[in-house]
Amino acid sequence: MLLNNIENILDSFSDGVIAIDKNFKIISFSKGAERITGFLAIDVTGKNFNAVFNSELDAHRSPIDEVLENGKSITNVKTKIRNVENKSITISINATSLKDVKGEIVGVIINFRDIEEIYKLHAELYTENTRLIAVLNSIADGVLTVDNEWRITSFNPAAEIITGNRVEDVLGKQCHEIMRSKTCKTDCPLRKTMATKMPIYDYEIEIINAQGKIVPISVNTALLIDEQDNIIGGVETFRDLSFYKNVSEELNMKYSFANMIGKDKKMQEIYSLLKTISPTSSTVLIMGETGTGKDLVARAIHHNSPRKDKPFIKVDCTSLPETLLESELFGYKKGAFTDARIDKPGKFELADSGTIFLDEIGNIPLSIQAKLLRVLEEHAFEPLGGIKTVKVDVRVVAATNRDLKQAIEQEKFREDLYYRLNVMPITIPPLRDRPEDIPLLIEHFLNLFGKKFNKTITKLSQDAMDLLLDYPWPGNIRQLEHAIEHAFIHCTGRIIQTRHLPEDIKQKSSPLIDKLLTKENPIDEIEKEVIIEALKRNHWDREKTAKILKISRITLWRKMKKYEIKNRKASQ
């Protein structure tokens, strides 16, 4: 019986895939085949393969004839075909027989790729992303078919490579005996397709190969249907994800430090700085907006320092009133106040020989700042109600989302304390200034919440990703994390859609635009902000900025004069 409904599975291939019957009539034509040849499936389905492509394979006793006659698969056979423009292209083909429930050969599945395309891909391996895409796309997918009794009826060469099993050893055996996945009897994707008649795409599972090694694979499934629309089995294609997993780990190592993630140039500079300052005992001041990850930076400094096996004590300077903060930091002696029935050590004493992290130090009262300054200078203090000096060896890491220089001008922060804290300053850029890090962070949170909620959500739809890339993220990484968690709770499928995201993000409300719309001349204000942002991104280079804005340098100069935009680079 002829197979005429396997387009769903063939369309998932990156290579071209064509299914033909015993008379060389084309019965399926994948999107990859359309891309490589230029022919449309609707125009070639039902036509003779050799007539369409004027192929060298129409020669007497071609390799395809061998597959049809004896069922033997062929691998990496180079030949030439004609594309839609009647130009000759060189392809490399793999072919395996297609069998019915009785084990009789009813056709051939031809998997092919454009040789010149592969050469071009290899020439572009100078970037890691291109390298990853090129190599992944050049990996042949494994293909197996089963009958209605789950007996394997075909098994292509790529399937042999991925599973480590020879085709002659697997034909006629139960699929689960060969794949040996935990999902085989409980959550088998092909079984779901057979039951629901719906194809499944990019379903990640782990199998055990013939050598006993666990192999991660991505599975696509579809039905096998004969000309009378009877289900005669199923098709499963699978791709070895081992390379992808290894490259992902390699990229994560390159674009991360401790628990921080980012490929942005500023983040890379921070990683380099952390490697330099972590082994020291210098005081560090971390500056950045709320949600940028100041806590992670502080922990990274501690865990990459000689003090990593000693205490790491965090103090939130905004969570306690002034009357309790002093005793929390420095401790108290019995009888120091009404409820002081026993001696209690403070956070500095508990952090002795380790690191103390003073979060949001910009909010610490002036009355305590003097005592904190003494600790930084002398490594000593007296507990509340005490008369003996306590000596400590503590590294201080502080963080703030406030402008401390402005606080000094307002006499809310001691200038001498600021300079004592600002020995090694680190400024973390807001997420809106590092949009290229958003996909990396999303992938990290997908893995994190996948384990937490025990869900297999692999990616976001393009619309959802575009929405997240365009959003200004006033709450930074913390807000992005909460957005992905929110989406995980609402998503019941495998792909996060825009409807699963929080309402404030779906509305694409921009705090900056909202602010500008309240101005007397919002259009002028928006133009001014665009010019300033473009100048910043080009380091105040007028020629480059004018080019990006699609205006002349004279026009840019006039607009800068109109909006009183000063050349900040020259003033620095």
3-class secondary-structure state, position 461: coil
Q: Which residues pair with 74 in a beta bridge?
A: 95
What's the pLDDT score for residue 510?
52
Per-residue tens of pLDDT for the chain, all 572 residues: 334 344 444 444 457 888 888 888 988 888 788 888 889 888 888 898 888 887 655 555 677 888 888 888 887 788 888 888 888 888 888 888 888 767 788 888 888 888 776 555 444 433 444 443 344 344 457 888 888 888 998 888 888 889 999 988 999 999 999 999 888 877 888 888 888 888 887 788 889 999 999 888 888 888 887 767 788 888 888 888 776 665 455 445 454 555 677 778 888 888 889 989 999 999 999 999 999 989 989 998 999 899 999 999 999 988 778 778 888 899 888 876 777 788 888 899 999 999 999 999 998 989 899 889 999 999 999 888 888 899 999 999 999 999 999 999 999 999 999 999 999 999 999 998 888 888 888 988 998 898 888 888 888 988 888 888 888 888 999 999 999 999 999 998 888 999 999 988 887 645 555 566 667 777 888 888 888 888 888 888 888 888 888 888 888 888 888 888 876 554 44
The first and second tokens of residue 232, run together, are: 């005669």
Contacts of 79 (CB under 8 A, 6+ apart): 55, 56, 57, 90, 91, 93
CA distances from 560 to 255, 525, 551, 552 (A): 37, 12, 13, 12
The span from the CA of 292 to the CA of 246, in Å, is 28
Around Cβ 448, how many Cβ atoms within 10 Å? 14
CB of 436 closer than 8 Å to CB of 267: no
Beta strands 459-460 and 495-496 are parallel
Q: What is the pLDDT of residue 32?
A: 80
> What angle is formed at CA 203 by the lines to CA 106 and CA 457, rounded to 5 degrees?
160
Topology of domain 433-508 in CATH is: Helicase, Ruva Protein; domain 3 (1.10.8)
Distance, in Å, from the CA atom of 92 to the CA atom of 76, rounded to the nearest integer, reads 5
For residues 406-422, one letter each, b for 16 or more C-beta atoms within 10 angstroms of the residue's C-beta and e for the rest, the string is ebbeeebbbeebbebbe
d(CA 336, CA 542): 64
Local structure of 567: helix, strand or coil? coil
User: Are the CB atoms for 83 and 37 separated by under 8 Å?
Assistant: yes
**Which residues pair with residue 26 across a beta bridge?**
20
Torsions phi, psi for 284 (to 5 deg): -125, 135
Residue 255 sits at φ, ψ, to 5 deg, of: -105, 30
State which amino acid sits at residue 78: K
Report residue 59 as tokens. 């020669």
Residue in the block written with tokens 């629901």: 196
Q: What is the largest CA-CA distance in the chain?
A: 105
Cα 35 to Cα 40, 111, 202: the distances in Å are: 9, 13, 21
Q: CA 315, CA 549: separation in Å to the nearest integer? A: 46
For 272-302, the three-class secondary structure string (H helix, E strand, C coil) is HHHHHHCCCCCCEEEECCCCCCHHHHHHHHH
CATH of 512-571, one of 3.30.420, 3.40.50, 1.20.58, 1.10.10: 1.10.10
Tokens of 164: 């480590």
What is the homologous superfamily of the domain 7-245 according to CATH?
PAS domain (3.30.450.20)
Residue where the block lists tokens 């904190």:
372
Distance separating alpha carbons of residues 255 and 261, to the nearest angstrom: 6
Tokens standing for residue 193: 């397709």
Q: What is the pLDDT of residue 515?
A: 61
pTM > 0.85: yes or no: no
Which class does domain 261-427 fall in? alpha beta
**Rounded distance between C-alpha atoms, residue 236 and residue 220, angstroms:** 6
Please give the DSSP secondary-structure letter assigned to residue 457.
-
Of residues 506, 429, 511, 513, the one with CA closest to residue 468: 506
- Output the pLDDT for position 517: 62
Give the tokens for residue 321. 């009133």
SS3 content of the chain, % helix, strand, coil (to 5): 45, 20, 35
How far is residue 16's CA from residue 112's CA, in Å, rounded to a whole number? 5
CB 261 within 8 A of CB 440: yes
- CA atoms of 54 and 88, how far apart (whole Å): 9
Domain positions in the chain: 7-245, 261-427, 433-508, 512-571
Contact assessment for residue 204 and residue 241, using Cβ atoms and an 8 Å cutoff: yes
Q: CA 442, CA 463: separation in Å to the nearest integer? A: 14
For residue 436, is it left (φ>0), alpha (ψ between -120 and 50) or beta?
alpha
| Tokens describing residue 268 | 């890379």
Query: Any idea which residue has 């692999």 for tokens?
Result: 458
CA–CA distance, 497 with 490 (Å, rounded to integer): 10
Alpha-carbon Rg for the chain in angstroms = 32
Give the DSSP H/E element, type plus range, for residue 419.
helix 415-421
Please report how the helices 366-378 and 322-330 are oriented relative to each other, as an axis angle in degrees rounded to 10: 10
**pLDDT value, residue 119:** 56
Helix/strand/coil for 332: strand
